[in-house]
Amino acid sequence: MSLRTIVTLPDPVLRRKARAVTKFDKDLHTLIDDMVETMRDAPGVGLAAPQIGLAERLIVVEYYEHEMDEESEENEDMPKKVWAIINPEIVKASEEKVMGVEGCLSLPGLVGEVERHTEVLVKGLNRHGKPMKVKAKGWLARIFQHEIDHLNGILFPDLATRVWQPQQEVEQEQEV
């Protein structure tokens, strides 16, 4: 396994619609493993192939499988799960949406408020080309929507109601 370079704007691959993955071979397995290692090193909770310069429909996500209890200290002991989904698509989404703050490894130093569905059903293929589905809610649903947007050339500022640099906000508060 090796770390891949995360590309940032204005790299054009981030705005390109990614092509479907059709070969399920050793190279794909290596790519998936490299993406997981790169995501963890960044550190992040998700990574799409375009973020490492490849216009392919592949995402990796690492997060808690079940919704966390905001109050509980047990969250730290909860195991995280890793998903690698090839050719993912959202086949069902809740009508209910919620605003949340997002950042992106390809847009360092920026965050924004984005409205997302609270629940999604994602279908795709696993690393062996077998069909899989993931039912996600809460932050996990947000992560899947964010990463799948990358495969369509969509970045969070395109959907955000407000975008800012967190460092600027802290500096402004200190001035007051």
Q: Given 147, 169, 171, 175, which residue is catalytic?
A: 147
147 is catalytic: yes
CA angle 165-168-174, nearest 5°? Answer: 150
For tokens 């973020």, the residue is: 51
Distance CA 87, CA 21 (A): 6
The token duo for 71 is 């109050």
The token duo for 79 is 């195991």
CB 161 within 8 A of CB 113: yes
Burial of 174: CB neighbours in 10 Å, binned 0-12, 13-18, 19+: exposed
Cis, peptide link before residue 12, omega less than 30° from 0: no
Please give the distance of CA 124 from its chain centroid, rounded to a whole number. Answer: 15
Distance CA 169, CA 176 (A): 11
Helix (H, G, I), strand (E, B) or coil at 76: helix
Active site residues: 147
